[in-house]
Amino acid sequence: VTLEESGGGLVQAGGSTTLSCECDGSIFSVYSLGWFRQTPGKQRELVGSVIRGGMPSYADFVKGRFTISGDFRQSTVALRMNSLRPEDTAIYYCNAVLYNQNKYWGQGTPVTVSS
């Protein structure tokens, strides 16, 4: 299973951008799709995720600003980020968890929010 992210880059504070992720694993084996982020010196933290058949859930620090859209038929997940803040600057990672509990990560895509 491999995950390929796209999107990100440099965005001004208050702006928006969308990250996309494609998972090439069996479309029947993916249980959840989500996004994490990491900044230097900090642990990777959950941004939000969605399980098959369920509603997305989000970290408190992005509620009302970020939206996750998961398509389990296509094994894709998008992260729409609005009202970006400089503290949202991070490497963003796509994550897939299979029904066998195996977890997979994308290579990460940087998002830099300028003030």
DSSP codes of every residue in 61-103 = GGTTTEEEEEETTTTEEEEEE-S--GGG-EEEEEEEEETT--E
Query: Can you tell me the distance from the alpha carbon of 84 to that of 90, in angstroms, rounded to the nearest whole number?
Result: 12
pLDDT at 42 over 70: yes
Query: Can you tell me the distance from the alpha carbon of 107 to that of 89, in angstroms, rounded to the nearest whole number?
Result: 16
Average pLDDT, the chain: 94
64-106 tens-digit pLDDT: 999 999 999 888 999 999 999 999 999 999 999 999 999 999 9
Q: What is the pLDDT of residue 5?
A: 95
Tokens of 112: 């830099």
Sign of the Cα pseudo-torsion (95, 88, 58, 38, in order): positive
User: Band of the pLDDT at 1, cuts 50, 70, 90?
Assistant: confident
- Which backbone phi and psi does 46 adopt, to 5 degrees? -75, 130
Distances (CA, A) of 9 to 47, 79, 101: 17, 14, 31
